[in-house]
Structure 1
Amino acid sequence: MDKAIRSVATASQMGVSGYLYGLAVALIWGAQPVVASFGYRAGLTTLDLTMLRFAASGLLMLPFFVKRGIWSACGVGWRHAAVFILLAGPLYNMVLVGGLQWAPATHSSLIYPAFTPLFTTLIARLLLKDQQRIPVAGLALLIAGVLTVKLGAILHPVAGVNPDAWRGDILFATAALMWSLYTVLMRRWNTEPIAVVAVVQVGGLLYLPFYFWFAGLAVFQLDTTAIAIQTLYMGIIVSVISVLMFNLAVRMLGPKAAMFTALMPVVGVGLAVLVLGEPLTWSLMLGTVLIVAGLFIALKKK
């Protein structure tokens, strides 16, 4: 009897921990556009932000990478590793963060999470023969949410918003496509997630020589606080810690841990309005509600 009670208590504690991990991941991932926007305001460029991110995460994961095997690329194989680095490494970060040069953080917080499940489902059906699909209701809500945001911006332009915001929106959607292909290929090639994380982060170190060759050391003359925040948050918290926390959430809660990603738009839009002072319009609020509802339906179905 006592053993059964202890087992139930342990399971309950794991469930609570899983929810806390999932919530923390949603907060961390949802705040990415806001933190990157602060970097731009401090004078950092897309190239600078990418260098700081992979310098930190690459060096942090380097011992693990070496221990698991350099010649085998942590057991992933260099042919597959090259594809993962291309899809989720420095180029991916430039596309995702680069969109913030034109579009506000609120757009990134909505468009990227909305398009990711759409692209993932489509690519999985093509490459994995996966018959799972997003329910029609979820698909309609996701598309309606994105269209609401875009139509609102066109019909009722807000002062201070770049008229070329569509360029950033395209980059956010492109980043979602890259990430979706990356996740599907991990399943297709049956790779170990932590090994792939190590390969991508360490592989990102290859970007550093090219960066310093062309940009020099000028970045270190900027605000040291801004540099430290970007290095710590993007390079360590986002790239490594949040991924490990998400893996723990999945282990404790199972597939329903993915439900927490539906909170990302709320976190991102809320922080962009409160911290960055970006305008909150009716179309933005309605789009957020539609996208979050669509994500919940899509993720719950899976």
Structure 2
Amino acid sequence: MKKHSIAGLLAGLGAASIWGGMYVVSKVVLDVIPPFALLTIRLIMGAAVLGMVIHFRRNKPAFTREQFWKSLLVGFVGYGISLGFQFVGTKLSTASNGSLVTSATPAFVLIFAPFLLGEKTTTRRIIALVVSTLGVLAVIDPRNAELSPTLFWGNMSLLSAALTWALYSVLVRKVSQTGDLLTSSAVMLLGGLPSSLALGLWEINTQGVGQITIGIIGGLLFLGIISTAIAMFLWNYAFAELPAALASLTFFAQPVVGTLLGWFFLAEKITPLFLAGGALISIGILISTRE
């Protein structure tokens, strides 16, 4: 693989790993701050951090008004629409259903990429996706999923989240071909603010906010700086550097890291099925990189 490709692969795996490990922190903070209010804080902090990096950067590439609006629109798809569906789906469905349904994201990327990017859907890419998908199914164990009719709208929201996140990711690759990625990434975070701010203010007025402790502030800093500014940029970098089909497979690192952290911090068991799944995900990514 080329040096850029390796960097892109590591960036995608890094982003997915951070997101895989953020659920413990999110759970604690969400007990105090409602979801859309938390998302608003994350987006503002993330954009501010990237903005500071841009400000102190020596070489500032030109960024046109057209690139600004394109990036803002892409950000609205990813952070305004997709994350909104994810929050609603998580609330109306279950965590196991969320892991299962959102694992469809790479498959949707494979559908969007030929139309929006002109990338060919090769036999190797399909095989890599199938192998990796079997791996993630082994990791999250679909037997834990619930298909109760009462969860229908929650599951539909989760499916919409997977679909729109795949669309966002493919559009990132398209936008990155004509503009500076760092500036685009900061503007994309701002794109999610109109909807999250409105819903966040409504949540605060109706539900209120719990006690803000030092631990909660630490959680906010982690979620805003690490899992938003850094992880979102790494994810965008992966899609800027790699074919969309390959970059999307790094998404499968999320459940693997989440399970490993559960084993390390919560003494949860590592099953043979998990080990087999992790191996299949690795094989799938390896198959895709050989193209």
Q: Tell whether the structures are fold-level matches, with TM greater than 0.5.
A: yes
Q: How does 1:61-80 map to 2 (within 5 A)?
A: 61-62=50-51, 72-73=64-65, 76-78=67-69, 80=70
Q: Which amino acid aligns with 2:202?
A: F
Which residue does 1:6 correspond to in 2?
none
Residue 228 of structure 1 is matched in structure 2 by 217
Residue in structure 1 matched with residue 105 of structure 2 by the alignment: 116
Which of the pair has more CA radius of gyration?
1
User: Does residue 55 in structure 1 map to residue 41 in structure 2?
Assistant: no
Could you tell me which residue of structure 2 aligns to residue 210 of structure 1?
A: 198
Output the CA distance in 2 between the equivalents of 1:241 and 1:151.
31
> 186, 199, 211: which one pairs with 2:187?
199
Distance 2:266 2:169 in 1: 31
Q: Alpha carbons of 1:95 and 1:240: their partners in 2 closer, same or farther (altered >3 Å)?
A: same
Describe the SS at the equivalent of 1:76.
Answer: helix
Shift of 1:141: 3.1
Contact persistence 2:40–2:196 (CA under 8 A): yes
| Alignment correspondent of 2:86 | 96
Consecutive unaligned residues of structure 2, counting only runs of 5 or more, are none
Which residue of structure 1 aligns with residue 169 of structure 2? 183
- From 129, 133, 158, the counterpart of 1:139: 129
Counterpart of 1:4 in structure 2 is: none
Identical amino acids, percent of aligned pairs: 23
**116-125 or 208-217, which deviates more:** 208-217
Structure 1 residues 163, 292: CA separation in 2 closer, same or farther (over 3 Å shift)?
Answer: farther
Per-residue CA deviations over 1:229-281 (Å, capped at 9, x if unaligned) read 44212221122123455678899xx7599576553321022234655687877
TM-score w.r.t. structure 2 length? 0.69
Once the two structures are overlaid, the 10-residue window that deviates more, 138-147 or 88-97, is 138-147
Shift of 1:210: 2.2
Residue correspondences, number? 277
- 1:129 Cα shift? 2.5
- Do 1:141 and 1:291's aligned partners in 2 also have CA atoms closer than 8 Å? yes
Match for residue 127 of structure 1 among 104, 116, 125: 116
| Structure 2 contact 36–200 (Cα < 8 Å) conserved | no
Gap change, CA 1:170 and 1:89, over 3 Å in 2: same
Determine which of 280, 285, 291 is the counterpart of 1:296: 285
Alpha-carbon distance change, 27 to 46 in structure 1, aligned in 2, over 3 angstroms: same
Unaligned runs of 5+ in 1: 1-11
8 A contact 2:112–2:170 mirrored in 1: yes
Matches within 5 A, 1:243-254: 243-244=232-233
For 2:67, what is the secondary structure of its paired residue?
coil
Say which SS state the counterpart of residue 192 (structure 2) adopts.
helix
Secondary structure in 2 aligned to 1:285? helix
- Residues of 2 paired with 1:150 and 1:248: CA distance? 30
**Which residue does 2:74 correspond to in 1?**
84
Partner of 2:29: 39
Shift of 1:197: 0.9
Structure 1 residues 21, 196: closer, same or farther in 2, change over 3 A?
closer
Distance (Å, rounded) in 1 between the aligned partners of 2:153 and 2:269: 19
C-alpha contact (below 8 Å) 2:37/2:200 kept by paired residues: no
Distance 2:266 2:149 in 1: 19
Query: Which residue in the other structure is 1:30 paired with?
Result: 20
Q: Which residue of 2 aligns with 1:9?
A: none
Amino acid aligned to 2:189: Q
> How far apart, CA to CA, are the structure 2 residues paired with 1:77 and 1:290?
41
| Residue deviations 1:60-102 (CA, integer Å, cap 9, x gap) | 3456789979x945x6142x23421221223332333444333
RMSD between superposed Cα atoms in Å: 4.7
CA 1:240–1:89 in 2, change beyond 3 Å: closer, same or farther? Answer: same
Q: Which amino acid aligns with 1:131?
A: K
1:124, distance to aligned residue in structure 2 (A)? 0.8
Structure 1 position 199, deviation (Å): 0.8
> Contact 2:89/2:157 (CA < 8 Å) preserved in 1?
yes
8 Å CA contact 1:53, 1:234 repeated in 2? yes
